[in-house]
Structure formats: C-alpha cells, structure tokens
C-alpha cells in the first residue's frame, strides 16, 4: 500500500490522506492531553481495550464529554508555561475540518480544494468567515502545528 509520500500531490487520494492525517493527529492530541490531565489530577486510568459496549464507567478527564477547547484549556492550566498549547489555533483547525464546506478549486481543476468556513445565519444570510486553499503548504503548516502540540503534550509527565 502506498504511503502519503507516494501519492501525487493535489489528487483525490492525496487530499484524503492529508486530511486524514490531520484528523488523526487531532485525536491523538486530545487523547494525550486528556491523559495528562487525568495523571496530574490523580484520576484512575482505564484500560479502554478491556471495556465492553454497554458498560458504565466512571466519568473522569478521559471519559467526560468536554469539548476540545475545554480539554486543551484545562491542560494549559495544569502544565508549566513552557508547555502551553496554542488553544485557539488548534481549535480553529479542528472547527475548519469539522464544520467547513470543502469545494473543488474550479470546475476544470478540482484540486486543491477550497475550505469555506461560514458563520451563523442572520436574516437568511451567512457570512463567509474563511476561504482556505488546502494545498501542500497549508497541510504542511497544519501538520507542523499539530506535531508541536503533540510533542509538547508528550513531554509533560
């Protein structure tokens, strides 16, 4: 199976792989931040592999329904200042990927894709909040942001 580096840039498979990498990095970041919070607050660790569907488990930093912004903000409250995360940039990336519209660049050249972030409806209209070209530079910048955050969280005992 081909890796991301083997895929031709600005193709459908390349975009799927790049976006999938960002989503996976966001999930890893959130999990590790939750684990750090649980460790720092003395919450018991769970063996998630041993859980069964329908089982009731204790709510704690690993299992609660806190949103990403809440989790990362709490992490920053507990971490030393040198280990603080850029919460707004990380949450913005997550929101862009989760809530934006992805459209082809043009009708003749479908890639790179354009990410449109729309605001709430007001009197039957929505405001365009962001228009982002999902090209190689954008993906590289976002992977670097996430790599730094994941490494920062990983350094925290």
Domain boundaries, the chain: 9-43+56-155
Contacting residues for 137 by C-beta, under 8 A, at least 6 apart? none
Strand duo 101-103 + 113-118: pairing: antiparallel
21 and 141 in contact (C-beta within 8 Å)?
no
Residue 101: what pLDDT? Answer: 82
CA angle, 30 as apex, 102 and 104 as ends, to 5°?
10
pLDDT on residue 108: 62
pLDDT, averaged per 10 consecutive residues of the chain (157 residues), comes to 75 86 96 94 91 94 96 95 92 90 70 78 86 89 97 82
The pLDDT value given to residue 88:
97
pTM: 0.87
CA–CA distance, 18 with 9 (Å, rounded to integer): 10
| DSSP β-bridge partners for residue 103 | 114
Confidence (pLDDT) at 29? 97
| Helix or strand run (H / E) with residue 89 | helix 87-99
Helix (H), strand (E) at residue 151: helix 136-155
């Amino acid at each position: 199976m081909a890796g991301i580096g083997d895929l031709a840039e600005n193709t459908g498979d390349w975009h799927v792989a790049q976006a999938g990498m960002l989503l996976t990095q966001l999930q890893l970041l959130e999990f590790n931040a939750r684990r750090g919070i649980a460790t720092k607050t003395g919450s018991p660790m769970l063996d998630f592999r041993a859980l069964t569907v329908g089982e009731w488990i204790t709510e704690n930093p690993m299992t609660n329904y806190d949103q990403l912004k809440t989790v990362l903000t709490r992490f920053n409250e507990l971490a030393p200042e040198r280990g603080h995360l850029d919460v707004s940039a990380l949450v913005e990336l997550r929101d862009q990927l989760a809530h934006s519209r992805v459209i082809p660049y043009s009708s003749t050249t479908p890639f790179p894709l354009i990410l449109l972030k729309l605001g709430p409806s007001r009197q039957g209209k929505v405001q365009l909040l962001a228009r982002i070209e999902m090209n190689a530079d954008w993906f590289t910048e976002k992977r670097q942001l996430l790599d730094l955050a994941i490494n920062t969280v990983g350094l925290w005992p």
